[in-house]
Structure 1
Amino acid sequence: MGDSVTPSFWTAYFGVEPDTAISKGQYFITPSGRPSRTPGRVGLWGVGSKLFVLSDQLEPHLRYLAERLNLSRPGLRDLLAREGVEVRFWCYWNNESGNREPDVPDDIRTMMESLGGTVEIDEYR
C-alpha cells in the first residue's frame, strides 16, 4: 500500500490477479462489487487467502501468501523502497473464546521485517 501504488505494475510483478486494487485518487470497485462513491484515499494492491486455505490458524494463511507472492525473492525490499510502497499482512483473527493466540511464525516475522513490512492482526471476540 502507498500513495504511489500502481496496481497493474504489482499484478505484472507478482503474476497474480489481486482481490483488491486501488489507485490513489481513482474510483474503484468495492468488495461488494459496486463502484466506490469516492476516489481511493491511498493506493492498495492485495490478495487474500481465505478461499484457498481452510484453517482457523494464521500460520497456513501467512505461508500461503508468502509462497504465492514469492516474497523471499531478491531485490523486493529495494523495489518497494523505490516505488515508495509498504508491504503488510493484514490478518483478521476470530477468537470468540478469547483463549487462543495468533500463530505468526518467527521466520514469517523475520521475512516481513527484512522487507520493511509488518504483520498486523485485528482480533475479533
Structure 2
Amino acid sequence: MSEQQLAYATFHVMGDSVVPAFWTRYFDVTPDIAIAKGQPFTTPSGRVSRTPGRVGLWGFGSKEFVASDALEPHLRFLIGRLDLTRADLRETLTRERVKARFWCYWDNEAGNRVPDIPHDIRAMMEAIGGTIDIDEYR
C-alpha cells in the first residue's frame, strides 16, 4: 500500500429526519460524522459549526481500520462491522425516512485504476434501497 490510501469507504445514513443518537445505538459504533438538521455539529477539524446542519447525516468509515487500495476490503469491513445484512435494515431506513449509501473515495491520479464493486455488495445495497457513490480523483 502507498503512504496515502488510494481507496476507502464510508457508510452514510442521510435525510432531514436523521437522529444521530438513534443510528449510533442501532449500529453500536461511534460515528465519524453525526449531523442533525438544524443543529450545530462538530466539523472534521473538531470545531463546532458556525451554521446549523442543512441535512441530517450519520457516517462511519473504513479509512482508519482497513489498509487497502482496493474498495472491496473497505466495503466488506463496513458490511460486517455495521451488520448491514440484518433483516430489519431496509424496514428501519424506510420507517425513519432516511436513505443509505456507500460513499467511496477512489484516487486514480495515474488514470489506470478501475474501481470494482462485487456483485453481492451491489445486490445487498439494492436490497436495502441504498446506493453506491464513487468519488474518483485524478
TM-score, normalised to structure 2, is 0.89
State the structure with bigger RCO (CA 8 A, min sep 6), 1 or 2. Answer: 2
Rounded Cα–Cα distance in structure 1 between residues aligned with 2:53 and 2:72:
30
Letter in 2 for 1:30: T
The alignment status of 1:121 with 2:134, answered yes or no, reads yes
**SS class of match (2:25):** helix
TM-score, normalised to structure 1, is 0.98
Q: Report 1:83-102 matches (<5 A).
A: 83-102=96-115
Letter in 2 for 1:67: G
**SS class of match (1:24):** coil
In the alignment of these two chains, the number of paired residues is 125
Could you tell me the percent identity over the aligned residues?
Answer: 70
Cα displacement string for residues 72-123 of structure 1 (whole angstroms, at most 9, x for unaligned residues): 0011101100100011000110011111100211100000000000000000
Is there any run of 5+ residues in structure 1 with no aligned partner, and where?
none
Rounded Cα–Cα distance in structure 2 between residues aligned with 1:56 and 1:124:
13
Rounded Cα–Cα distance in structure 1 between residues aligned with 2:87 and 2:53:
30
Among 76, 79, 84, the alignment partner of 2:89 is: 76
Is there any run of 5+ residues in structure 2 with no aligned partner, and where?
1-13
* Deviation of 1:37 (Å): 1.1
Q: Which residue of 2 aligns with 1:43?
A: 56
Q: Which residue of 1 aligns with 2:118?
A: 105
**SS class of match (1:61):** helix
Rounded Cα–Cα distance in structure 2 between residues aligned with 1:76 and 1:49:
20
Higher strand share: 2
